[in-house]
Amino acid sequence: AQSVTQLGSHVSVSEGALVLLRCNYSSSVPPYLFWYVQYPNQGLQLLLKYTSAATLVKGINDFEAEFKKSETSFHLTKPSAHMSDAAEYFCAVSDGINDYKLSFGAGTTVTVRA
Amino acid sequence: DTEVTQTPKHLVMGMTNKKSLKCEQHMGHRAMYWYKQKAKKPPELMFVYSYEKLSINESVPSRFSPECPNSSLLNLHLHALQPEDSALYLCASSQAGGGAGETQYFGPGTRLLVL
C-alpha cells in the first residue's frame, strides 16, 4: 500500500533562511508524488509534482523537490523563506494501483519568523 | 483557468436540518471528488465521481449524499448531521478519469459547523 511520512509536524524558520520539509514515501511501484500547500482558511494548492520525467522538480514560488529513489524521499526546499510561506504543507503519493486516491502525509506547519 | 469554486463558504446547521454544498468547475475535468478535512489533519477522501458516475464511496455515512448532475457540477446533500461532522469540506477535480498521477485541483472549501 502507498503511504507517505512527513518528518516534523512543525517547522519554524527565519525570514530569508532555507526551508526544508521532509517527506518519505512507501510504494510498491514507481510513485507519483505531490506537494500541496494550504494557506489559512483556504483549499489546497499544488506546489509541484513528480512524474518520473526528472528527479529535480521545480514548482511555484521558488519551491523545488528532489526525488531520491534510494532514500525513498521527496523533500521540499525553498532557498529563502518569505513571511507569505507560513502555511500547512502536505506531501502526497499516488502509486498507480489505487486510481483516484491520493495518500496524504500528516502535514507540516511552517511558521516564518521576522 | 484552474479554478474550482465552492458555495457556500460557511454553513451553520442544526442536526435536523437539510442543506447542500455545491462545487463547480469549468476546466472540462471528468473526475470530481469530495474530501472532509478536520483541523490540523490531512484531507480524507469521501466520494469520487468519474464521468458523472459514482466510482468510490469511502464508507461514508448515508447522512452524506453526493450528486453529480453534470460534468461541471458536484453537490453534497447533508441531512441529520452530527456535531462531529463539523469540518472543512473540500471539492477537487482532475482532468481525465481520475487515474494515477493526475493532478487534483482543489476548491477553497466550505466550512461546516453542526450545532
- Distances in Å between the Cα of A89 and the Cα atoms of A18, A34, A43, A108 are 15, 10, 12, 5
Rounded distance between C-alpha atoms, residue B105 and residue B33, angstroms: 10
User: Does A47 score more than 70 pLDDT?
Assistant: yes
Q: Please answer yes or no on whether A41 and B111 come within 8 Å at the CB atom.
A: yes
Surface-to-core class of residue A114, CB atoms within 10 Å of its CB (0-12 exposed, 13-18 middle, 19+ buried):
exposed
Chain A partners within 8 Å of B41 (Cβ): 106-107
To the nearest whole angstrom, how far is the Cα of B103 from the nearest Cα of chain A? 8
> pLDDT-based confidence at B2, cuts 50/70/90?
low
What is the rounded radius of gyration, in angstroms, for the C-alpha atoms of chain B? Answer: 13
pLDDT of residue B1: 58
Q: Please answer yes or no on whether A106 and B41 come within 8 Å at the CB atom.
A: yes
Average per-residue pLDDT for chain B: 93
Note the pLDDT tens digit of each residue in B47-88. 999 999 999 899 999 999 999 999 999 999 999 999 999 999
Cell numbers at A59, concatenated: 514548482
Q: Does A111 touch chain B (CB under 8 A)?
A: no
> pLDDT-based confidence at A45, cuts 50/70/90?
very high
**Kind and range of the H or E element at A25?**
strand A19-26
What residues form DSSP beta bridges with A105?
Answer: none
**Percentage of the residues of chain A whose pLDDT score is greater than 90:** 75
Q: Which of A100, A101, A104 to mutate to test the interface with B (most CBs of B within 10 A)?
A: A100
DSSP helix/strand/coil, A100:
coil
Cell numbers at B23, concatenated: 462545487
pLDDT of residue A98: 61
Partner-chain residue, chosen from A32, A41, A106, that has the shortest CB–CB distance to B101: A32
Q: What is the 3-state secondary structure (H, E, C) of A34-55?
A: EEEEECCCCCEEEEEEECCCCC
Q: What share of chain A is helix, strand, coil (3-state, %, to 5)?
A: 5, 55, 40
Rounded distance between C-alpha atoms, residue B51 and residue B74, angstroms: 12
pLDDT of residue A94: 85
User: Does B12 score more than 70 pLDDT?
Assistant: yes
As a whole number, mean pLDDT of residues B27-54 equals 94
Chain B partners within 8 Å of A109 (Cβ): 40
